[in-house]
Structure 1
Amino acid sequence: MAQAYLSYLGWHPGPVDGIVGKRTRNAMNLFQAHEHLQITTVLDDQTLAHLCNQVEALPL
């Protein structure tokens, strides 16, 4: 889900395959930095919540 959300938001995590590889981590860290979140090596609840909020705010 996080890879799809990162893709929708333009952060380019690579293929949406459920594997958190280097490209997904890089995209997640860029998103975290942009949102002034703690940069982590794993997807945390705060980052996931911010991703969900950003996607829900997208126009239909």
Structure 2
Amino acid sequence: MHVTAFGLWWIGWDEGKEGYFSRMKNGNENLTTNDFKKRGFEYAIVADSARGQS
């Protein structure tokens, strides 16, 4: 039986660059979607820190 692996990815919005940045770190490096794949996760559930603005 296959169980799907989900990972929670916490991001923040960078309004100056109109993009996002990862709040998840490995040491001093921000994690990317590729880091989730390397760890065996099939899906990343994205949680933002919009403080009620999303």
TM-score normalised according to structure 2 size: 0.27
Q: For the pair shown, which has the larger CA radius of gyration, 1 or 2?
A: 2
The structure, 1 or 2, with the larger RCO (C-alpha pairs under 8 Å, 6+ apart) is 2
